[in-house]
Amino acid sequence: MKRIVLSVLAIVSSFGIAVADEGMWLPALISQRIGDMRAKGFKLSAEDVYSVNQASLKDAVVLFGGGCTGEIVSDEGLLLTNHHCGYSFIQRHSSVEHDYLKDGFWAMDRGQELPNWGLTVSFLQRMEDVTDRVLDGFVPSMDEKQRDSVIRVNSGEITRAAMEEGKGLRASVEALYYGNQYFLFVYKVYRDVRLVGAPPSSIGKFGGDTDNWMWPRHTGDFSIFRIYADKDNEPADYSEDNVPFRPRRSFKISRAGVKEGDFTFVYGCPGSTKEYVMSEEVRYTAEISDPEKIELRTKRLDIQKKYMNSSQAVRIQYSSKNASVSNAWKKWQGEVKGLRKTKTTAAKQEFERRFGKWAEGTEYEGLVDKLGELYSERNPYFRASEYYSETVRAIEILSFASNVVSTIDRGRSVEGLAESFFKDYYQPIDEEIFVAMIEAFDQKMEDRFKPGYLKGKLSEYGSVKAWKDDLYKKTVFTDKARVAALTKDDLEALYKDPAYELHNAFMTWYAGEIRPVVDNLNAKIRLANRDYMRGQMAFEPDKAFYPDANLTLRVAYGNVKGYSPADGAYYAPVSTLKGIIEKDNPEIFDYNIPQVLRDIYAGGGYEDQPVCFIATNHTSGGNSGSPVINADGNLIGINFDRVWEGTMSDIAFDPEVCRNISLDIRYLLFVVDKVGHASYLFDEMNFAD
């Protein structure tokens, strides 16, 4: 009896009632959560968190680039984010003579700060419910297409009007709750953002892909930038005349430290979650999509690693590519494990049974069954499109061929394209991946999803390997000098190049036979999900629902807390420099720390120097670089990852094991001072103590 009660409770808590610390809340509606936040220890008011009338914490948070978060820590525009968020900019400033990725970079005065073309930071000015205006003119008899066009026209007018309110504004209307609600977001976008400091990768990326998505963690994942503005403090393109930006608000830094149980609050821009989808989508993700993509990426990573391990030059060429393939690969593994452990599919099925019963006689009757049928109809096609993108589209020479052809077609020179492609291209890796990926596609796709071109080539050559040998021998796209010299006159010949031909055959098949079916069914699924979302809210009127993440600003709150990753094991919530020294190994690239760190440690006194900590905040990709704030509203850390056992929180949040990982701000201060010798930066920071 007791066991039954417990398992029902477990199901209800893993899906259903928003349990402790689950949730990414809209700042504009934070007054609905502030009572709970204060009960958990927060000392500030809703107006302190978000206000359009007065300076509030939101004014110190930015969307950094296109997919990270950053925070302002001085009255002169100093900004903190992750090392992995600044990575590509640090890389662009690096050369053999000054390798900032390897050695780190520290501007010793403002004149040494480095401009970054294309990097912007966006401050949210305000967010506003515009549902009525967006749906003005919509009538229920309209289909999805007509509804979409009403929304497009209305949103266009709303954003245009919003952007006229000031300089450098960007506005967008975003759907929340599957289009049951629409919010306007108005941002002010600054575009002169300069690099101020970054630790060596052996600190900023310490642990590499070995430790990625894992706790205990010891990564000094930060970089420092500064925002510049024109003399009126308005956004401007880079200019020597620009001056440091004066923010409405910046974070005070707390050096008081964290301990188990402390209140924490993450303010940032999570990218994408799907907490309210039905069981069939979860089942597809956990049993088909993730495992198949993991298997394919394992093959790719193994091939890359084999060559990276035998050559230093290849390791440098493929480190960034390998890291991005590896990042999702490793996350999916944690996600599958987590979804299995929390039995999310079964929990959702149980929820759907109760929902279905309640829905009898209402507009929601039969909805879940209908949704299930739509998924069953879509998923074989969706699987084909995922397989295509993880196999054929992973072959570098094919997408390069396509880029070159379309660049020439637009009348542009391909010299630069060729230069950057071949800088990081190692043909033996690509050839081996070609064979592995085409073979996998051929073996795993149902016959009806195989393009005729593929079947033709396989019967012509007898094996993928023979096809590959011939293709790489005949294609022009492996030859840098010849590619660089291509012009419009070569287009006819290029269309017949075996690499381009293969790319094009698959593209045509995908655009003609797969994508239209997937798009059409996705539109129906979207519509059904809109009803299902509304239905879930009607079914559980007392539950607090938060909208799925969509890269808009959110508040997540919780507390510093360890967890048990497995039976018999417990992880403490804080890591220290001692752990870095324990992992240190000059033989292993990911664990080879800079000598200066060894020397500092050997000098004594830094065993307990804090490095990272974990907490129960509900975060996702995009929350990288987010400020982690204490009960007094002061900065205690920078968010950069989640623990492996909890990566399923994009689909189902389990408070037992879902933890975000943050850099302890005191480690940043330590590295800036002791490694970067740039403690002059502290002069402009405001410390809470």
List the x/- string, 325-344, binding to ligand ARG by CB under 6 A.
--x-----------------
- Identity of the residue numbered 158: I
622 touches, from ligand GLU, ligand ARG, none (C-beta below 5 to 8 Å by class): ligand GLU
208 touches, from ligand GLU, ligand ARG, none (C-beta below 5 to 8 Å by class): ligand ARG
Cα angle 627, 163, 131 (rounded to 5 degrees) comes to 80
Phi then psi for 310, rounded to 5 degrees? -100, 0
332 by DSSP, 3-state: which?
A: helix
Instruction: Output 268 or 547, the one with its CB closest to ligand GLU.
Output: 268
Q: How far apart are CA 453 and CA 501, in angstroms?
A: 9
Block residue for tokens 């060559």? 307
302 with 319: CB under 8 angstroms? no
List the x/- string, 640-669, binding to ligand ARG by CB under 6 A.
-x----------------------------
Q: How many residues bind ligand ARG (CB under 6 A)?
A: 10
Q: In three state form, how does the secondary structure of 425-474 look?
A: CCHHHHHHHHHHHHHHHHHHCCHHHCCHHHHHHHHHHCCHHHHHHHHHHH
Q: How far apart are CA 667 and CA 606, in angstroms?
A: 11
Which of the stretches 72-80, 135-143, 488-496, 634-642 binds ligand GLU when contact is defined by CB under 6 A?
Answer: 634-642
58 with 267: CB under 8 angstroms? yes
Block residue for tokens 């994009």? 650
Q: Is the dihedral of CA 661, 664, 669, 670 positive or negative?
A: negative
- Relative orientation angle of helices 2-14 and 344-359, to the nearest 10 degrees: 90
Phi then psi for 570, rounded to 5 degrees? -140, 135
Instruction: Output 253 or 643, the one with its CB closest to ligand ARG.
Output: 643
209 touches, from ligand ARG, ligand GLU, none (C-beta below 5 to 8 Å by class): ligand ARG
642 binds ligand GLU (CB under 6 A): yes
Q: How far apart are CA 573 and CA 460, in angstroms?
A: 59
Q: Answer yes or no: 13 catalytic.
A: no
Instruction: Output 42 or 87, the one with its CB closest to ligand GLU.
Output: 87
Which of the stretches 169-177, 498-506, 509-517, 615-623 binds ligand GLU when contact is defined by CB under 6 A?
Answer: 615-623
Instruction: Output 282 or 301, the one with its CB closest to ligand ARG.
Output: 301
333 binds ligand GLU (CB under 6 A): no
Block residue for tokens 């381009």? 500
Residue nearest to ligand GLU (CB): 624
Pick from 18, 19, 29, 323 the residue near ligand ARG by CB under 6 A. 323
Pick from 352, 641, 645, 654 the residue near ligand GLU by CB under 6 A. 641
- Identity of the residue numbered 327: N
Instruction: Output 217 or 534, the one with its CB closest to ligand GLU.
Output: 217
Burial 305-325, CB ≥16 within 10 A → b, else e: bebbeeeeebbebbbebbeeb
536 binds ligand GLU (CB under 6 A): no
In the set 48, 59, 211, 221, the catalytic residue is 221
In DSSP terms, 687 is beta-bridged to: 253
- Report the candidate in 653, 638, 648, 673 with the shortest Cα–Cα distance to residue 251: 638
> Restricting to residues 181-210, which ones interact with ligand ARG according to CB under 6 A?
208-209
Instruction: Output 91 or 520, the one with its CB closest to ligand ARG.
Output: 91
Pick from 624, 634, 639, 662 the residue near ligand ARG by CB under 6 A. 624
CB of 332 to ligand ARG, least distance (A): 12
Q: How many residues bind ligand GLU (CB under 6 A)?
A: 9
Q: Answer yes or no: 654 catalytic.
A: no
84 binds ligand ARG (CB under 6 A): yes
Q: Answer yes or no: 677 catalytic.
A: no
216 binds ligand GLU (CB under 6 A): no
Pick from 575, 619, 634, 662 the residue near ligand GLU by CB under 6 A. 619
Cα distances (Å, whole numbers) of residue 315 to 92, 154, 322, 602, 643: 18, 50, 9, 31, 27
In the set 14, 155, 326, 624, the catalytic residue is 624
620 binds ligand GLU (CB under 6 A): yes
Tokens of 24: 């990414």
74 with 80: CB under 8 angstroms? no
Q: How far apart are CA 683 and CA 187, in angstroms?
A: 29
Other beta carbons within 10 Å of 689 = 8
Instruction: Output 336 or 401, the one with its CB closest to ligand GLU.
Output: 336
Instruction: Output 211 or 641, the one with its CB closest to ligand GLU.
Output: 641
Please state whether the peptide bond connecting residue 216 to the residue before it is cis, i.e. omega within 30 degrees of 0.
yes
64 binds ligand ARG (CB under 6 A): no
Running DSSP on this structure, what letter comes out for residue 671?
I
621 binds ligand GLU (CB under 6 A): yes
Q: How far apart are CA 682 and CA 672, in angstroms?
A: 9
Q: How far apart are CA 216 and CA 583, in angstroms?
A: 11
CB of 69 to ligand GLU, least distance (A): 8
CB of 667 to ligand GLU, least distance (A): 17
In the set 83, 84, 503, 618, the catalytic residue is 84
64 by DSSP, 3-state: which?
A: strand
Q: How far apart are CA 126 and CA 183, in angstroms?
A: 10
Pick from 181, 202, 212, 264 the residue near ligand ARG by CB under 6 A. 212
Pick from 244, 622, 627, 633 the residue near ligand GLU by CB under 6 A. 622
Pick from 42, 123, 213, 425 the residue near ligand ARG by CB under 6 A. 213
CB of 67 to ligand ARG, least distance (A): 9
Q: Which helix (H) or strand (E) holds 266?
A: strand 263-268
Largest CA distance in the chain: 79
624 binds ligand GLU (CB under 6 A): yes
DSSP letters of 175-211? Answer: EEGGGTEEEEEEEEEE-EEEEEEE--HHHHTTTHHHH
344 binds ligand GLU (CB under 6 A): no
215 binds ligand GLU (CB under 6 A): no
640 binds ligand GLU (CB under 6 A): yes
323 touches, from ligand GLU, ligand ARG, none (C-beta below 5 to 8 Å by class): ligand ARG
552 binds ligand GLU (CB under 6 A): no
**What are the residues binding ligand ARG (CB under 6 A)?**
84, 208-209, 212-213, 323, 327, 621, 624, 641
Residues designated catalytic? 84, 221, 624
**What are the residues binding ligand GLU (CB under 6 A)?**
619-624, 640-642
